[in-house]
Amino acid sequence: MIEYKKDKTMEEVLANTERDGDCMIWKGGQHRQGYGMMRQRGEMRSCHSVVAELKYGYKPDKYHGERVTRTCDNKLCINPDHIIIEKSSDIKRRRYHCKDRKLTQEQVREVRKRYAEGEWGIGQQLAKEYNVSSYVIYATVSNRLYKELPHEDE
């Protein structure tokens, strides 16, 4: 049986941070995608997941629709006040209705019109032109984003 060092406590984890406004920025190792990483129970884990487990007393199960997120959207922040566990469906719903939308009302109308008239591959072209992801274009034309703006043909 492999014996691991004892689990780190919240205080030990937070000792490796630096304050930046309200955030507590992880100063240790990082994943290539920019998330803080640390060893806990013999395995590499994201720091925000370790903090969530220490805060809530259980490890969220992504296979049952739970995700660890932050209220500040800073990948290196591990402030326990910013770490929350959410249902995956709530996260998706929030992304559909985000407040800092990328397209103006006029652009939404133009995208929908051009997409309806366009040929195969127009979504990628519009995404590049409006500097948004192709997901934003497809969600806009399928009425998952900007639901409050009716389609021209309605």
Q: Are residues 83 and 101 in the same domain?
A: no
- Decide if 75 is inside a domain: yes
Structural domain boundaries enclosing 65: 10-87
Q: H helices then E strands: how many in the chain?
A: 6, 6
119/144 Cα distance (integer angstroms): 21
| Residues 87-141: tens digit of each pLDDT | 766 655 555 455 446 788 888 889 999 988 887 888 888 988 888 888 888 888 8
How is residue 14 annotated by DSSP? H
Residues 49 and 82 both lie in one domain: yes
Give the global pTM: 0.58
Token code pair at residue 97 = 């209705």
